[in-house]
Amino acid sequence: MQKILAYPLTVLYFIFFGIVLLVFHPIQWICFNLFGYNAHKKSVSILNLLLLRCTHVLGTRYTFTNPYKIPKDRPLIIVTNHQSMNDIPPIIWYMRVHHPKFVSKIELGKGIPSVSYNLRHGGSALIDRKDAKQALTEISKLGRYIEKYNRSAVIFPEGTRSRTGHPKKFQTTGLKVLMKQAPSALIVPISINNSWKMLRYGKFPYGIGSHLIFKVHQPLNNSGNPDELIEKVEQDITSGVTSF
């Protein structure tokens, strides 16, 4: 019965989702080209808030828990598990004061209204996963960028998303590059639960009634042995992933 109900609700969701993307594409262009970075950043924050609101049609709820006072005057490396594309809007919205930028696959840099524009012009790194040299070069640029401007890089070290929610082993190369290029960054681990359930049936229909839970763990200074630090971050994130 739930899956049957999911079909019409998913159609309605896609309509709202598409309208938001189409409306905010020119808004982003105007903000970026006429008013600069800060205006563009605000438009992206509002865009992602509305994308969250669209999922309420599916009965989706969100809990974002952050008990830590994270400074705004230093760069962050936000490290998280990856369960679906629905991981991204909550991070952009709830971490908006830290100006999150993403390590994203290059294919997303074109063809998607609003999303592709932001990835190309908002400071994110678009990497070709088939070209290691290009990927590491772009991640290095992102690391230097956040170090210079006190912004945040978001990286999913699992690489591809977990389709069942079960944590996958971290691929550490890209994270190590960010850590090297942004030595003053604070590393912020985040565990994500239940995002995968929105795609439990595949891309259509969407799962309904999901409760997405984001838990921020104790931030860590980017110092000491990088392998040991990454192991600690992975353990923190994995320990907070319970729904699979």
176 pLDDT higher than 90: yes
DSSP string, 96-148: GGG-EEEEEEGGGGSSSTTHHHHHHHSS-EEE-TT-HHHHHHHHHHHHHHHHH
Where in the chain are the domains?
A: 2-239
Residue 243 confidence (pLDDT) above 80: no
| Cβ contact 54:20 at 8 Å | yes
Minimal CA–CA distance to 168: which of 83, 86, 226?
A: 83
Tens digits of per-residue pLDDT, 97-139?
999 999 999 999 999 999 999 999 999 999 998 999 999 999 9
CATH of domain 2-239: 3.40.1130.10
Tell me what the pLDDT averaged over the chain comes to. 95
Strand partners, 152: 76, 100
Confidence class of residue 167 from pLDDT cuts 50, 70 and 90? confident
| Token pair belonging to 143 | 């690391």
> How many Cβ atoms from other residues are within 10 Å of residue 205's Cβ?
22
- Torsions phi, psi for 83 (to 5 deg): -115, -25
Q: Which amino acid is at 95?
A: M
pLDDT at 237: 97
